[in-house]
Amino acid sequence: MLDPLAGKLLHYMDLLSARQKLVASNIANVDTPGYKTRDLDFQFEYLSAIAGMGPNVVEASDLATKNDGNNVSMDRETRLLAETALRFNVAQTLLKGQVKAVRAAIKEGRGA
Amino acid sequence: MSPISPIRHVSNTIAAPALGGRSAPGGGDFGAALASSIQAVQNAGTSAAQSAERFLSGEGEELHQVALAMQKAELAFDLFLEVRNKVVSAYQEVMRMQL
Amino acid sequence: MSLFHLMSVSASGMGAQRKRAELLVENLANAETTRTAEGGPYRRKDAIFESREQSSPFSAVFQTAVDGQVQGVSVTDILTDTREPERRYVPGHPDADENGYVSFPRLNPAEEMVDLMSATRGYQANVAAMQAVKDMILRSIDLMK
């Protein structure tokens, strides 16, 4: 019923919430010795669009490792936390806009 | 006798163009206007959807461009709805008129 | 160039200032350290900042050409002080040499404190920048509601 944009938005939001879970676990493990930062290749997962299967979790590259083997960068994680939440907000607003448009067509501009 | 006849001529000349205005040329103009406004709404909606899809794929579409495209599409649709409703109610009123 | 990309630039600034603060705190803690694992007194450490292109994990591959104009910062090197250590006359000290002189780290705690304040200010400034960018993004989202 809703056009293909709604399907893409849902897929985008699925990936965002998966990523947010990884960011949260990274932040929780900021002091764990030997813990490596986990992430998912967002662009690749979004464009390959294989629904139903969970996204592949990979180790983030290009991060400095501390003496205890932990390589979590607090700044990277807090920034990803904020960016993921904001992008989720954008996608959610777009999806609401789609639903509103169909509803407006149904009401045909009559009533409130 | 003779001063009265020019008034009849005037009323004849007034009646004919008015009737002519409401017949075929008027009807054709209105249909074309409606079709073009439907097309405009369609185009606005498509470009808004494309803008959003480009943003999602990370192709460098700016957030405010997406917001603007979405608002334009919504505005075009709302305007079209209003015009359509006004036209329909005007048509219904004309139909209700006792001839 | 996307607003979201600006956030990663601010985050790189925060990370760089934090690394600098780490080194300054280490310097302050070791201001009187006369023996280290490598032998000799503690040598002061300094961070070298370098501007570096920030790639966003959300962007497509062909976007980095545009984003490259905005530079983030990264700590590329940690410079260890190579100056001669300060020698003080403390004859009874276990690390004293045959003349009674002990090598102490050559650093000025007042300087380190001032640098630490500057690193803190720098960190706060980057946090404020990120807040400002977040605010802009939220307002753009409001446009769509």
Q: What is the pLDDT of residues B23-76, one digit of tens each?
A: 444 456 777 877 888 888 999 999 999 999 888 887 778 888 999 999 999 999
Collapsing DSSP to helix, strand or coil, C46 comes out as strand
Q: Is residue A112 a part of any domain in this protein?
A: no
Collapsing DSSP to helix, strand or coil, A75 comes out as helix
Domain ranges, residue B81: 5-96
d(CA C54, CA C56): 6
Indicate the pLDDT class of residue A29, thresholds 50, 70 and 90: very high
Looking at beta carbons, which residues of chain B come within 8 Å of A5?
49, 52-53
C88 touches C104 (CB < 8 A):
yes
Question: Strand pairing of C101-104 and C86-89?
Answer: antiparallel
Looking at beta carbons, which residues of chain A come within 8 Å of B87?
none
Smallest CA-to-CA distance from C11 within B85, B57, A82 is with A82
d(CA A10, CA A78): 24
- B70 at A interface, C-beta within 8 A: yes
d(CA B80, CA B38): 8
Indicate the pLDDT class of residue B18, thresholds 50, 70 and 90: very low
Smallest CA-to-CA distance from C134 within A79, A15, B91 is with A79
Q: Chains contacting A with at least 3 CB pairs below 8 Å?
A: B, C
Q: Is residue A98 a part of any domain in this protein?
A: yes
| pLDDT of res. B22 | 44
Position C60 pLDDT exceeds 60? no
- C59 at A interface, C-beta within 8 A: yes
- B17 at C interface, C-beta within 8 A: no
Distance from the Cα of A90 to chain C's closest Cα (Å) equals 6
Segments of chain A assigned E as strands: 38-39, 58-59
Query: Average pLDDT of chain A?
Result: 85
Domain ranges, residue A20: 4-107
Q: What is the reported pTM?
A: 0.77
Q: Is residue A35 a part of any domain in this protein?
A: yes
Q: Say which residue, C128 or B7, is predicted with more confidence.
A: C128
Which residue of chain B comes nearest to C57, CA vs CA? B58
Split into its structural domains, chain B has a count of 1
- C58 at B interface, C-beta within 8 A: yes
Q: Is residue A55 a part of any domain in this protein?
A: yes
Q: Which of B7-16, C73-82, C105-114 has the highest mean pLDDT?
A: C105-114
Q: How far is CA B90 from CA B86, C70, C128, in A?
A: 6, 57, 57
| pLDDT of res. B58 | 78
CB atoms within 10 A of CB B93: 9
Indicate the pLDDT class of residue C62, thresholds 50, 70 and 90: very low
Smallest CA-to-CA distance from A77 within A55, A54, A60 is with A60
Cβ-Cβ contacts under 8 Å for A44 (sequence gap 6 or more):
none
Domain extents in chain C: 3-36+43-82+109-143
d(CA A37, CA A56): 14
- Phi/psi-derived region of residue A49, left when phi > 0, alpha when psi is between -120 and 50, beta in every other case: left
Smallest CA-to-CA distance from C67 within C12, C14, C119 is with C12
Split into its structural domains, chain A has a count of 1
The token pair that represents C114 in the structure block: 């001032």
d(CA C93, CA C29): 20
Inter-chain contact B70–A94, Cβ cutoff 8 Å? yes
> Which ipTM value was assigned to this complex?
0.79
